[in-house]
Chains A and B, each alone.
Chain A
Amino acid sequence: MNGYAGKILNLDLNNRKITTIPTSKYEQWVGGHGMGSAIFFDLVKDKTIDGFDPANVVTLMTSPLSGTLVPAASGRTEVQGIGVQSYPIGWFTRSNFGGRFSTMLKFAGWDGIVIEGKADKPVWIDIRNGDVKIRDCTPLSLWGKDTWECQETIWDYVAGSGEYGDWIKTGANGERTTQRSAVLAIGPAGENLSRMACLIHDASNGSGQGGFGAVWGSKRLKAISVIGTGSIRVNNPKALIEARLWQKKNYAFNFDNLKKRWQSTEFQSPPIPITLYRLGRPLTGQRPQACVGCHSGCRGRYEDGVGNESTCFTSLFYLYAKTLDIQREACDLLNRYGLNAAEMFWGELYLGDLYRSGVLGPGKEIDCPLNFKNYGDLEFAERLVKAIAYRNDGRGNTHQFGDDLAEGFVRAAEKWGRLAGDKGDLKTGRLMFPHWGLPRHKEARSQLDWAYGTILGDRDINEHDFDQLRIDPSTAKRYKFKPYAPAEEVVKIYTDKMEPFQGDMLMLDFSTENMYSEHIAKLVTWHRYYTRFWKQSTQFCDWRWPDFLNLYGPGKVGSTGIAEPKFLNAVTGKNFTFLDGIELGRKIWNLDHAVWTLQGRHRDMVHFADYFYTKRSFTLDGQPEYMPGRKNGRWTYIKTLGRHFDKDRFEEFKTRFYKLQGWDTATGYPNRGTLESLGLGYVADELEKNGRIGKKR
């Protein structure tokens, strides 16, 4: 099995039993998310259990591309299981993180890890190639440590008498490496079951969504450390390195011919930290830092060691910190205590709003121990983070405030009575958590792929596949430069690649008139299938793929469609086409949807928060957004802010979407015929047994 280690590690924490699953059993799913969903479906008999139930299974899956030279695909790890963050149901969900973990796991001889049960006391997992131990946390005093201290303590333990900087012997057979073990750990937030607790690896690789930090905490699992000295066999080594150099020469940034010099998530982007600090990028000495095998690092490490590797939402948290350095230090707090940056960012703004309106504060309607006179200081951020991580007042004293917030901002707001009535905070939009109790990300009323993908799925999709369509024209208008290409040309480049719907340019018409059309249903469908397979199963990185429009490519045409199968086939020897991947993505999407259906999903539940139907879209900085669309029958970049969804028309859209999927349009349940055509007859059986199989209408 080229590209695979050949076996999956199965940890039964109930009985401290370690077994293996042959990867070949799940090879039809290729890797990552597909494998994780299939394993979850097989092992979790009752899909209606809560995420904190010991019977919940968490999978950490690599892909055949992990640990290989495939650019921006080698370093990701897919995390799945029943989450505890979303509302009202903790959906079966996914998260994903970068760094070195998946590479190390493969080099240690494992394609993934399956975690079952709950340990009788806090444990950590010590993986050194085939030697796996479930160790108590007590000897190293790991329980209670923050994520960074935990990792460093484990590094020292694994090194034994060795010294980093030299070769380290990792096992009895003399295996050696110069690398530190890759550790994935929870912080105090996970230990104390905060629903917004993350898994953290190295400085700032976070598996944030789903609250898997809390799930680990409930299983009394503090960390998994893995060191691997082995290798991964590649089907055609020469083809792999040729493909890498082809990609570098034709599609990656060229220092002598830089097309742009600012941060972006595009494949062609040069390596620049994607930090979003309010006061700009730190000017201190720094380097870019990349996941294993990536051609273009998106993180930085700094001369003062502050904010190392933090990006995106992590670097947005505590937006109104008094200084840039304070905001950077606040990033580190999130990483050390292990909290979800997106929820903390929007939640902190919500608290400030409630404080300013006199609702929240010491002795107020919502009794809050934080001193807002210190707002902007590091002390304020630290106390907020600690209050949520420890469920107290942030200074070690019992307090309801931290306990409430540890349940997540929507559940806290509900407890505080802030969601009830016509003026509830999810009706007015004061609490900007528009889908499944999860925080806003992009302005989804503007960027439709984001809105629909999220509400028809399980989480904020966090898939940047079409961001270029918004960011490039919006910044071009703002700063008065030419966009990459006219809207029609861009849309053609994109839609030509979107098999099996290629050529339907109306898929990328983001005008209000087209918001609920069959074309947009196809866009969302393609997006679900592409990401389920090519991004989350083979694990091409969300920030560098797909490569639709590329200024280095011939005619500005990027490599997507050609590159993905070229790399996968070079590594595995499979004969996958791009469309094969899309089709397998469809199967995985159907499997996931079946699990949600078993958990209790019905089409009537599939709705945005009320404010998405009444309040107009906007951006925090007040800047307009532009996306491709038709105006008077002609393609142009149109303004997409200032609109909201129409509830009835969204119902029409759902019907179109369900029909396209082959699902029951009345309930949203999957139909047997659809599942059987995908080889998922056994899934249909389980749905039928539970009275949740769709009817053909």
Chain B
Amino acid sequence: MNDRVDKKRKDREKEISRRDFLKYTGTVVLVVGSGCYVAADKGSPKLIKVKEGGAGLPASEGYILVDIKKCQGCTSCMLACSLVHEGVESHSLSRIQVIQNSFESFPDDVTIEQCRQCVDPACFKVCPEDALKTNAKYGNVRMVDRDKCTGCGECVEACPYTPSRPIVVSDEDYKGDMKSRKCDLCANTPYHWDQAGGGPNGKQACVEVCPVGAIKFTKEIPAQEGDDGYKVNLRDRNWRRLGYPIS
């Protein structure tokens, strides 16, 4: 990726770092100020300190991880995402974005950018309509209440990552009004193939469709600082047997 985008990313990550809430891999959230603990996973509680978590959001019970060195750039994840959510095939409507440059050298030729289900999501804080919510039914995944959303795009601007994870698009269900969308781990998917549906306790289209296993679902909260928690190594012995590097 180019220098300008890299700089934008680094600047935003520094900013987040200053806010000092993005460095944890545990599963219990401590909201400083409100003094409350939020249990996100009863199995192996660890403390998460959130300095300015506002409402003290419960952590999402699920996250998408990607391996950008394993991705084959087919964008099947993007097509699956738009298909199960919108019933159409589209790259621009996908909540996960694969960006590639055919002429670039491996591994800089491909990146995958997915919503991080942030422990303290910047998009939530700026929404003037309070349209971004955690959904307890779906393991506290971060979702958009489209009835409330006015499509103002504040969430897009506030997202500290590049490209911004929320997208604002014309919505046929609302007479073409602009509405925000973001990854919900396939919780709200009218075209989900599985009767049990998606969300943290269901199946995510991008994970299931990826032909090479470059996308993984986890219930563990990834390290919030930097990319390492979300961009991981999913290559194993089987991958090496095909002649690809695994380190």
Contact = CB atoms under 8 A, between A and B. Distances in A.
Contacts of B71: 287
Given A255-B238, A271-B242, A305-B105, A241 B191 contact: yes
B84 interface: yes
B106 A286 contact: yes
A258 B75 contact: no
Contacts of B73: 287, 289-290, 297
Interface in B76-93: 76, 79-80, 82-84, 86-93
B91 A295 contact: no
B191 A293 contact: no
Given A242-B193, A285-B106, A165 B209 contact: no
Interface stretch (B2-10, B42-50, B127-135, B219-227): B2-10
A8 B126 CA distance: 43
Interface in A295-327: 295-297, 301-305, 308-309
Contacts of B243: 272, 281, 286
Contacts of B117: none
A237 B191 contact: yes
B70 interface: yes
A150 to B, nearest CB: 12
Contacts of A165: 1-2, 5-6, 99, 111, 162-163
A231 B90 contact: yes
A233 B87 contact: yes
A166 interface: yes
A237 B88 CA distance: 7
Interface in B194-247: 205, 208-209, 211-213, 236, 238-239, 241-245
A234 B106 contact: no
A244 B163 CA distance: 28
A297 B109 CA distance: 15
A163 B97 contact: no
A297 B244 contact: no
Q: Which of B1, B110, B239, B244 is most buried by chain A, counting CB atoms within 10 A of its CB?
A: B244
A291 B76 CA distance: 10
A69 interface: yes
Contacts of A281: 243
A295 B76 CA distance: 8
Nearest to A148: B103
B72 interface: yes
B75 A293 contact: yes
Contacts of B34: none
Chain A interface SS verdict (over half): loop
Contacts of B1: 164-165
B213 A163 contact: no
Interface residues of A, number: 68
B198 to A, nearest CB: 12
A305 B245 contact: no
A465 B151 CA distance: 50
Interface string A623-651: 00000000000000000000000000000
Nearest to A202: B102
A103 B98 CA distance: 14
A125 B107 CA distance: 31
A307 to B, nearest CB: 11
Interface stretch (A18-26, A174-182, A607-615): A174-182
A449 to B, nearest CB: 29
Interface string B106-118: 1101110100000
A290 B79 CA distance: 14
B112 to A, nearest CB: 11
A183 to B, nearest CB: 10
Q: Which of A152, A175, A178 is most buried by chain B, counting CB atoms within 10 A of its CB?
A: A178
B102 to A, nearest CB: 4
A549 B99 CA distance: 35
A296 B72 CA distance: 8
Interface in A184-237: 202-203, 228-234, 237
B113 to A, nearest CB: 8
B48 to A, nearest CB: 30
Contacts of B6: 165
A166 B74 contact: no
Nearest to B108: A305
A58 to B, nearest CB: 23
Nearest to A304: B105
B162 A166 contact: yes
Given A164-B2, A166-B5, A232-B88, A287 B107 contact: yes
Interface string A224-264: 00001111111001101110110010001001101001000
Nearest to A235: B87
Contacts of A163: 2, 4-5
A287 B72 contact: yes
Contact of A166 (B8, B100, B238, B242): B8
A177 to B, nearest CB: 5
Interface of B: 1-2, 4-6, 8, 69-76, 79-80, 82-84, 86-93, 97, 99-107, 109-111, 113, 162-164, 167, 191-193, 205, 208-209, 211-213, 236, 238-239, 241-245
Of all A-B residue pairs in the complex, the 8 with the closest CB atoms, nearest first, are A231-B90, A305-B105, A165-B5, A202-B102, A290-B74, A237-B191, A231-B88, A165-B1
Interface of A: 67-69, 71, 74, 99, 103, 107, 148, 151-152, 163-167, 175-180, 202-203, 228-234, 237-238, 240-242, 244-245, 248, 252, 255-256, 258, 261, 270-272, 281, 285-297, 301-305, 308-309
